[in-house]
Chain A
Amino acid sequence: MDFISRGFRGRPREQAPAGRLPPGQYMVRDFPVLSAGPTPHTPLSRWTFSITGEIDEPRQWTWEQFRALPTETITKDIHCVTKWSKFDTVWEGVSVDTLLDGVDTTAEYVLAFSDGGYTTNIPLQDLTEGKAWVAFAFGGEPLEPEHGGPARLLVPHLYFWKSAKWVRGLRLMSENSPGFWETYGYHDYGDPWREQRYSGD
């Protein structure tokens, strides 16, 4: 740390509880919105969720079938690559373990795909064993379209662009393939605690 910004003091430090704010992040209380294009509005009657790719029998749920699956309430801190972090966000969703239950696959990577063409890649092992959900409620309310409703992926241990809004399915892949932001120079994995914002970080 050989560089000092002359005259910069920053906010009082007690604002962020120790050990909860990854490097380079700051805490927010509201919920900023970031997306690359118009917010899609797929009617629930036409909404499906699919598991495709390296799987013997692809799976698909309608909204009713999806909502009949067992759900979990999840309380997690989330971290956006644009530097904000939000603590103790409360979600309701279906665990990816539930969606992949009984699936036999040799795939090691997943490409999550969304309405509007958005994609993001994640190692399969980062979506299983209680690490990821398809969330349909936030703060006890149905997930608003601008925050990714009717359903978004929730992978809270990675930067939040990995938690694909408007998610419609997971493609199981044996080879890694970059998604939307990963193609534009964002980090392939995106661990906030290692500050993996951009490729090469």
Chain B
Amino acid sequence: MARAAVQRRLTWRRGRVTRRVDETPRVRTLVLALEEDWPGHLAGQHVDVRLTAEDGYQAQRSYSIASAPEDVGQLAITVERIGDGEVSPYLVDELTEGDQLEFRGPIGGYFVWDETPGGPLLLVAGGSGICPLMAMIRHRAARGSRVPTRLLYSSRSLEDVIYREEVDLLAARSDGLEVFHTLTRDRPAGWTGYARRIDLEMLTEVGWRPDEGPLGFVCGPTPLVEAVAEALVQLGWSPDRVKTERFGPTGG
């Protein structure tokens, strides 16, 4: 917590959308080209995005950076379309290759991982809460880190799993990344993974023992984050080794 404050001004920038990736039926990744003066980011940080209508009306939202810091020259955000949202339907459905997007950042310095905090890692995600954790997983892979890492990822169904192929490919490298899915609503025939909301028993099976000195990052909707953080503390984890970030569908 004794980190020096970063006292630079966060100015608004414009990034051109260079690529869109359909992640799930409701989720799309936008890749933005970065200018050279981008200061770089830490895995887990976010950006603020600002939209401006013709009459001057503006709306801002925060989105986690999903790409690794090593992915120089570009920045990816992954956006879930919230039905009655104001910003997310625009980002998912309207914004396209060649369009400009205003944003500023990087923001946040607590929910970040840069290999130094030590200990085996437990990453717990619900839905689009995977985004900042994906930046950590990609950073870990880009660094060639072998920090033992377990991802426990809760999705409604297999088609709602964001970054599924990439995560499975990274897990197949056998460099210490293990991936566990739980599907809470629909399962394909023959599904052998978890099939319920994340609970104490699941965290006992997947998570590290407290005496292994683990570090946990939990990101998702508030009920999931509350339940997981509470369960980890109950299992004996030190509260200051459980870092949380919550995504609500609010406003989107």
B233 nearest CB neighbor, chain A only: A38
Proximity bits, B1-26, A CB within 8 Å = 1, else 0: 11111111110001000000000000
| SS class, residues of chain A in contact with chain B | loop
Least CB distance, B10 to chain A, in whole angstroms: 5
| SS class, residues of chain B in contact with chain A | mixed
The answer to whether the Cβ of B157 comes within 8 Å of any Cβ in the partner chain is: no
- A10 and B57 within 8 A (CB): yes
- A39 and B243 within 8 A (CB): no
A30 nearest CB neighbor, chain B only: B250
Residues of A within 8 A of B51 (CB): 5, 8, 10
- A37 and B240 within 8 A (CB): yes
B5 touches which of A8, A23, A39, A182 (Cβ 8 Å): A182
Q: A4–B157 Cα gap in the complex (Å)?
A: 37
- B10 and A201 within 8 A (CB): yes
The answer to whether the Cβ of B184 comes within 8 Å of any Cβ in the partner chain is: no
Q: A30–B102 Cα gap in the complex (Å)?
A: 28
- B248 and A32 within 8 A (CB): yes
Least CB distance, A201 to chain B, in whole angstroms: 7
Quick one: given A38-B242, A40-B239, A146-B222, are A6 and B99 in contact (CB under 8 Å)? Answer: yes
- B240 and A117 within 8 A (CB): yes
- B229 and A38 within 8 A (CB): yes
A37 touches which of B5, B10, B95, B244 (Cβ 8 Å): B244
The answer to whether the Cβ of B178 comes within 8 Å of any Cβ in the partner chain is: no
The answer to whether the Cβ of A82 comes within 8 Å of any Cβ in the partner chain is: yes
Stretch at the interface among B59-67, B124-132, B196-204: B59-67
Residues of A within 8 A of B5 (CB): 178, 182-185, 199
The answer to whether the Cβ of B134 comes within 8 Å of any Cβ in the partner chain is: no
Residues of B within 8 A of A13 (CB): 57
A82 nearest CB neighbor, chain B only: B62
A180 nearest CB neighbor, chain B only: B1
Instruction: State which size class the interface on A falls in.
Output: 35 or more
- B57 and A38 within 8 A (CB): no
Proximity bits, A1-40, B CB within 8 Å = 1, else 0: 1011111111101000000000110101010111111111
Residues of A within 8 A of B239 (CB): 37-38, 40, 116
- A83 and B60 within 8 A (CB): yes
Q: A38–B226 Cα gap in the complex (Å)?
A: 7
The answer to whether the Cβ of B94 comes within 8 Å of any Cβ in the partner chain is: yes
- B90 and A7 within 8 A (CB): yes
- B110 and A184 within 8 A (CB): yes
- A26 and B244 within 8 A (CB): no
Q: A30–B56 Cα gap in the complex (Å)?
A: 27
**Interface positions of A from 114 to 146, Cβ below 8 Å from B:** 116-117, 146
B6 touches which of A9, A146, A199 (Cβ 8 Å): A199
Quick one: given A5-B52, A11-B86, are A39 and B230 in contact (CB under 8 Å)? Answer: yes
Least CB distance, A19 to chain B, in whole angstroms: 15
Least CB distance, B225 to chain A, in whole angstroms: 8
Least CB distance, A198 to chain B, in whole angstroms: 5
- B57 and A37 within 8 A (CB): no
Least CB distance, B174 to chain A, in whole angstroms: 32
Residues of A within 8 A of B94 (CB): 6-8
Residue among A3, A10, A38, A200 with max Cβ neighbours from chain B (10 Å): A38
Residues of A within 8 A of B242 (CB): 37-38
Least CB distance, B4 to chain A, in whole angstroms: 8
Q: A201–B3 Cα gap in the complex (Å)?
A: 20
Nearest first, the 5 closest Cβ-Cβ pairs linking A and B are A200-B9, A184-B109, A38-B229, A5-B51, A33-B222
Chain B residues within CB distance 8 Å of chain A: 1-10, 14, 48, 50-54, 56-62, 86, 90, 94-95, 99-102, 107-111, 222, 226, 229-230, 232-233, 239-240, 242-246, 248, 250-251
Chain A residues within CB distance 8 Å of chain B: 1, 3-11, 13, 23-24, 26, 28, 30, 32-40, 82-84, 116-117, 146, 178, 180-185, 197-201
24 A-B residue pairings within 8 Å (CB atoms): A1-B56, A5-B51, A5-B90, A5-B100, A5-B101, A8-B53, A10-B51, A23-B58, A24-B60, A32-B222, A37-B239, A37-B240, A83-B251, A117-B240, A180-B1, A184-B3, A184-B6, A185-B5, A199-B5, A199-B8, A200-B7, A200-B8, A200-B10, A201-B9
